[in-house]
Chains A and B, each alone.
Chain A
């Protein structure tokens, strides 16, 4: 082989390696973009309505910012006395779900802080099967449009179940239909 030919192949090799490297860099970049975008999308995954806060309660930090954190499990007598804990209360305490430092956030088991609009992730940490069904639209309630571009609303767990006392309350039924002999069924 001639000297010129060797040089040519060498250059060719270099070009190929450069191209490979640039492809890898580009793919890493796009992978990063994809991950960031999907994380963003994940955060806004479900069109949920505003969480059902008691009026005048949120943001929690408006009071709690100036209060000292007391981590001791105790009965609350002055504030939040209307909250009855009936949700594995023997094992649970406010700060298991509410973050101690940032009161406007909820706290996942791994320490991640989430907004109240994402509270389903917190509920899903224990109630995995229900969370799976909720994501599919089977457990829970969806209203609005299921197809097209119309507005849709997926209720949060907390819209139906009080997180502190999740068992459904008894409801007053609507009146029964008129019997055929009912006076109101006659002119």
Chain B
């Protein structure tokens, strides 16, 4: 039998645990059942298949109530032997922003109060080198392309060495085996360290509850991708994880009217992206900071 008399240390520990439990009781009773459930939900990578099914069922029910649509929530894993890469031809991009809105429609981003976009099309003066400080993304001419400017769409570059993942204090964002950096929106605490760490401004934050009109919802979603988010979650481009893991081009690739956007598997020698890397003049944004991005800009010589 152990010593009945508690040490001072044990006494203090027990006292503090009791106090914490007591303090959190009113906290739990004040929040709804939904919020309590979400609070106790495990990290996605630690869930068993059974737990994933339960979470999916719960989310489908919740989305049905909120948006009046039957959602298909996928938890498809990364395909073997894949590393997704993206190509964007700068000499062809006209800056029409079709990709921006196609992305918003596909990925269920908040439409207003606050509007969130995963793609930002930068306008740069032609002739200067790519100098992101001199860029402008609120340009609004009558027609594009404008004389004397080039357009540089920037979204998450899916770095192979992602600074955002390193910055996250709770591992709510991580890199999947196929190279896509994803966020567990439920695990995210909204500290926004990843936003500060990203050198491409690739991440956006839900400052308020997202405003997504019922008739603009896309019900084909992936748990780690385009499922509707909540307030205080950080989100970003996932190369349309719900599409590419099914072998389909991302929404921005399909939307581009000039065909500047290309996509493929970097490990497949016959893929389009490998053709670009082997034959075109490619560069990556901010190569010097060693993020090893998988987003290749290229242009005709």
Contact = CB atoms under 8 A, between A and B. Distances in A.
A144 B112 contact: no
Interface stretch (A11-19, A76-84, A178-186): A178-186
A176 B140 contact: yes
Interface string B254-292: 101111001111000000100110001000000000000
B115 interface: yes
A142 B96 contact: no
Nearest to A171: B96
A173 interface: yes
Contacts of A187: 113, 208
Contact of B113 (A145, A168, A186): A186
Nearest to B97: A174
Contacts of A141: 256, 258-259
A146 B264 contact: yes
A143 interface: yes
A177 interface: yes
Interface residues of B, number: 43
Contact of A168 (B94, B249, B280): B94
Contacts, number: 100
B248 A160 contact: no
A46 B97 CA distance: 29
Contacts of A140: 259
B247 interface: yes
Main secondary structure of the interface of B (DSSP, over half): loop
B146 to A, nearest CB: 9
Contacts of B217: none
A91 interface: no
Contact of A177 (B100, B143, B264): B100
Interface string B182-224: 0000000000000000000000000010000000000000000
B245 to A, nearest CB: 10
How big is chain A's contact interface, by range? 20 to 34
Contact of B258 (A137, A138, A168, A172): A168
Contact of A146 (B98, B259, B263): B263
A165 B230 CA distance: 49
A178 to B, nearest CB: 5
B249 A136 contact: no
Interface in A150-180: 150, 155, 160, 168, 170-179
A177 to B, nearest CB: 5
Interface in A89-145: 136-145
B258 A178 contact: no
B266 to A, nearest CB: 13
A173 B115 contact: no
B2 to A, nearest CB: 58
A138 to B, nearest CB: 6
B248 A172 contact: no
Contacts of B94: 168, 171
Interface string B73-103: 0000000000000010100001111101100
Interface of B: 87, 89, 94-98, 100-101, 112-115, 117, 120, 137-145, 208, 246-249, 253-254, 256-259, 262-265, 272, 275-276, 280
17 contacts: A138-B89, A141-B256, A144-B248, A146-B263, A150-B246, A150-B248, A168-B258, A170-B144, A171-B94, A172-B96, A172-B143, A173-B96, A173-B140, A176-B139, A177-B100, A177-B115, A178-B115
Interface of A: 136-148, 150, 155, 160, 168, 170-179, 182, 184-187
